[in-house]
Amino acid sequence: MNYEIKQKDKFKYIEIGEGEPLVLLHGLFGALSNFRDLIDHFSTHYKVVVPMLPLFELDIFHTTVGGLAKYVYRFIEAQNYYNIHMLGNSLGGHVALVYILKHPERIKTLTLTGSSGLFENGMGDSYPKRGDREYIRKKTELTFYDPAMATEDLVNEVFEITNNRIKVIKIIALAKSAIRNNLGEELNQIKQPTCLIWGNNDTITPPFVAKEFQSLIPNSELHLIDKCGHAPMMEVPTEFNAILDNFLATHKQTAATLA
């Protein structure tokens, strides 16, 4: 399915379906294709929203996790969303955490998958390495349990980014910001129900990171998926969607009971 990218003021985003907003935040090399199965599944019951994070558009001073969280804040205020189910993968999870810690009032649930914020392995000390396509392929393959998930299109996307000098500078700035911005001492402030969906074979944010998130976020549950790497919503979409379905349905039932 091709999605219409809408524009409102300086914000670019997709918005499909009706119901409570399910806001998806992509990672450093994220694209709409990362969420394709998730969007198709959940847009029948939710208003699925994917803001295009300005990874390469912000000035270098604001090219940080905090800068992206402020962008998401301004976007959500402009759209006036409430009762938001927020989901973030990788850097997007980190942005979601910074957002919810500062602005919890509009968020109903939080879902993290392969999130930074506590610990992450980068793509390698020498990454991004420009001009070496095979190197980029190998690094992209490390995102997944099954290296075949690193399709030609995906490798081409990453290769194009890493061969743009300005984009490389901003990738490094964001990666350094993510490492500096450790949230370990703040996570106990999160009150929203939180679902952690993690690949058991994630080498970028390994399973011990997920277990640490679970121990630090009070109202959280952890689901580990075997034979799965850093992007479960891409690699095992059926299992990922089933876990998220159950989590959101349980929360709705709980809310109805309390009402």
Cα–Cα distance measured from residue 114 to residue 92, given in angstroms and rounded to the nearest whole number:
9
Mean pLDDT of 23-45: 90
Cα–Cα distance measured from residue 239 to residue 227, given in angstroms and rounded to the nearest whole number:
12
Cα–Cα distance measured from residue 9 to residue 225, given in angstroms and rounded to the nearest whole number:
40
Question: Is 13 among the domain residues?
Answer: yes
Q: What is the structure's pLDDT at 257?
A: 44
Are the C-beta atoms of 115 and 89 separated by less than 8 Å? Answer: yes
**Span 58-105, pLDDT tens digits:** 899 999 999 999 999 999 999 999 999 999 999 999 999 999 999 999
Question: Is 120 among the domain residues?
Answer: yes
Question: Is 1 among the domain residues?
Answer: no
Tell me which residue range forms the domain holding 70. Answer: 6-258
Query: How many structural domains does the chain have?
Result: 1
**The pLDDT of residue 176 is above 60:** yes
Mean pLDDT of the residues in the chain: 90
Q: What is the structure's pLDDT at 219?
A: 95
Give me the DSSP letters along 13-48. Answer: EEEESSSSEEEEE--TT--GGGGHHHHHHHTTTSEE
Question: Is 11 among the domain residues?
Answer: yes
Question: Is 205 among the domain residues?
Answer: yes
Q: What are phi and psi of 136, to 5 degrees?
A: -65, -40
Are the C-beta atoms of 48 and 22 separated by less than 8 Å? Answer: yes
Question: Is 180 among the domain residues?
Answer: yes
Are the C-beta atoms of 62 and 92 separated by less than 8 Å? Answer: no
Q: CATH no. for residue 77?
A: 3.40.50.1820
Question: Is 105 among the domain residues?
Answer: yes
Question: Is 169 among the domain residues?
Answer: yes
**Of residues 199, 228, 192, the one with CA closest to residue 108:** 192
All residues at 6 or more sequence positions from 171 whose CB lies less than 8 Å from its CB, including other chains:
28, 55, 128, 161, 162
